[in-house]
Structure 1
Amino acid sequence: MFDIGFTELLLVGLVALLVFGPERLPGAARTAGLWIGRLRRSFNALKSEVEREIGADEIRRQLHNERILELEREMKQSILPTPTSPAATEPKPAEASPAPAATDGKPASPPAAATPAPAVSADGQAPTGTAAPNASSDKTPSP
């Protein structure tokens, strides 16, 4: 990590021997070892906590993205009609509405029956015996 070779370690040991002396050097080495161990443990704990936070942040981002995608799907479904079966798209026959209630105490008249449209032949003329509706704007009778 720091790229310290054997010669550098030997030089540090020699300087420590000269500074502390032979009596105090073992106690100083033990204390230095304890401090280095504490630093390593705290550094590893900090490193694992940062990795855990990064992982948690990534999980939070994924959950947030999934929520956004789900909201987007819901919006698309609410805006765009969903494909339905062909039977559901066919128009339903008109149901008879209930008769309107009479307000003056008299019974209401039954609703008028729908009259069928006149049949038209292939040439566009009404069959004999029935009058064809006049589609032109002038009101002249046809001969």
Structure 2
Amino acid sequence: MFGIDSPELLVIAVVALVVIGPKELPGLLRTWGKWMAQMRGMASEFRGHVDEMVRQSELDEVKKQLEAATGGVDLKSLDPTKQIRSAIQEGMAEGEKTMAEAKSALANPLADNPLAEPESAPQVAAEPAPQLTADTTPVVAPPAEPAPIPEAPIPEAPVAHAPAPETPTPEVKPVEAKPATKAAAE
């Protein structure tokens, strides 16, 4: 501290003790500590003001450079709501277009789907229908039943039961009969 080594500091402390005296030395050190605290406070305040001035000057320089480079900053072009609004409008237009396509597809289902069969196409049966005569009765096959699905046994998970806590049963005390009052007797 201030280029003073520990042996020199020890010599200064001994001289101060001899010159000032042991009774007044603690008060003097307390006063000297308060002054040092005030000096440090003033130095930090001064440093804060200097730092603030430096920041202001740097901000002014940056502002001047931006204005010189771009000819001024247009804050309206930096508005994020315009970008959001345009994205929403694009989405709405796309949705309306899709809705119009869906409505037209429902109105004319054959126009967009070339694989769909026209309704006037002849229907061809897979088997010819049996010819019925008066002396024959048609044989109708019963409808085929679906094959049963084999059921796999479902394993049961072991259930762990916790023992119920022992709760003492409350004792029931008999109620004593109270003497009848006048109102009850009448």
Normalising to structure 2: TM-score of the pair? 0.36
Normalising to structure 1: TM-score of the pair? 0.45
Higher relative contact order (CA 8 A, sep 6+): 1
